[in-house]
Amino acid sequence: MKQTLIAATTVIVWLCLAPTSLAATLDEVKEIVENYYYGNQPSNIRQAKTLNEIINQLDEYSVYLTPTEYNDYLNQYASAGSTTQVATLATPNNINNVQSHMLYGNIGYMKIKTFSAHLLDDVNTHWASLKRRGAEKLMIDLRFNGGGYVESAEQLLGFFPKAKVAYNLQTRMGTESAKAIPAKNTFPAATYVLVNRYSASASEIVAVSLKDQNAAIVVGETTKGKGSVQSLFELANGGALKLTTGHYTGPKGTPVQHKGVQPTIYMKPGTEQIAMHKRLVMADLVAKNYKFIKGPTDVPRHKTFSIEFTQAMNFGPIDKFNKMELIKFGSVSIRTNKKQGNDKTMTIQPASPMQLGGEYMLIVHPGIQGANGRNVIQGTYTPYTVQKTAN
């Protein structure tokens, strides 16, 4: 038997001189399953009279591809130009696969849609850009990421300084360990990885590896539980058998298959990014001794925020006054219009209507000078929630 790698998956060329009749193909598939399938072994595979009888006894990821289906599969992955194993539920080719932007508080955010063949270059580019813009902390978003190239998972793990091992792979031959591929441009220690129930395969390899090695904080909900790897066996009839040949576990042996990866911090589905951003910003303000002031909920979209001081203040020119800012969680400071009411009052209003149902925070920083020459020494922060429906 000759083993070769084609496009995005392990392809094992099963050399056979037998004729390509249905019976010959059936015997060929039986032999491959008996030698390589990883999972509960079929009890009556030798008595099976059709390919469907065999496939129905295997897991949901093991399938038979007809010659036409296999040819379409190879054409689909030909443009990838990779010779790397894949663990995926999604096609690992995606335009704009990585996206990033800054969040308030010097927090970088990077969304990875799939583990594409060029993920390493994309992540390097986006992380370098975020650092230039002042990122000190980082969120990596793997929600709805169905997987992709295993090597790309190994490369992504290399950005985490404490992640030395990528995964363990259990096969019929035993257990092998794969190392993370070290990156030069590493992530900060305070990195948060967002996952949800749709994070699968390569995403789960990353999540369980980070958890097992305390290399990052996994946030969200339990992942899908697809911790298996498939290999393609080319058949003499021109078709192929896509067969589960191993299961991934974390470096400490933590299983993924049918269990998923449990987050370090649970977040309600759909709230992960905003809730984590809010948590980080508030923790930073608490560390700086800012005072919490409870704000109202269901505020109107056009709300004007008024801050009244107990003594006369020297606000200075309005266009240069920067000690108050309104931030949107999941985003940055928003543009506001400021106006001095009297010598004790300053009002600010968003330059455009706030988002319905959005979460905001008004921050008053220390350092505002009073008319008596003394400065405000303690900042404050007040969260607000905008009404969900327009009146």
pLDDT in tens, the chain (391 residues): 333 222 234 545 444 444 457 889 999 999 999 999 999 888 888 888 999 999 999 999 999 999 999 988 887 764 443 334 555 555 445 568 999 999 999 999 999 999 999 999 999 999 999 999 999 999 999 999 999 889 999 999 999 999 999 999 999 999 999 999 999 999 999 899 999 999 999 999 999 999 999 999 999 999 999 999 888 899 999 999 999 999 999 999 999 999 999 999 999 999 999 999 999 999 999 999 999 999 888 999 999 999 999 889 988 888 888 999 999 999 999 999 999 988 899 999 999 999 999 999 999 999 998 888 889 999 999 999 999 988 6
| 75 burial type by CB count under 10 A (0-12 exposed, 13-18 middle, 19+ buried) | exposed
Q: Where are the alpha helices (DSSP H) in the chain?
A: 22-36, 51-55, 67-78, 119-132, 150-157, 202-212, 272-287
What pLDDT score was predicted for residue 255? Answer: 96
**For 288-385, CATH number?**
2.60.40.1220
Strand stretches in 53-203, DSSP E: 63-65, 86-88, 98-103, 107-112, 137-141, 147-149, 165-171, 174-179, 191-195
Supply the DSSP symbol for 297: S
Domain boundaries, the chain: 2-87, 90-227+247-273, 288-385
What pLDDT score was predicted for residue 88? Answer: 52
The phi and psi torsions of 298 (rounded to 5 degrees) equal 60, 40
CA atoms within 13 A on the CB side of 174: 2
Rounded Cα distance between 380 and 235, Å, is: 69
Rounded Cα distance between 233 and 211, Å, is: 33
What pLDDT score was predicted for residue 43? Answer: 83
Rounded Cα distance between 310 and 370, Å, is: 10
Strands 359-364 and 345-350: unpaired
Q: How far is CA 35 from CA 132, 172, 245, in A?
A: 52, 8, 10
Fold of 90-227+247-273: 2-enoyl-CoA Hydratase; Chain A, domain 1 (3.90.226)
| Residue 161: both structure tokens together | 């300084």
Strands 359-364 and 324-328: antiparallel
What pLDDT score was predicted for residue 5? Answer: 29
Contact 319, 337 (CB under 8 A): no
What pLDDT score was predicted for residue 316? Answer: 87
Rounded Cα distance between 383 and 4, Å, is: 58
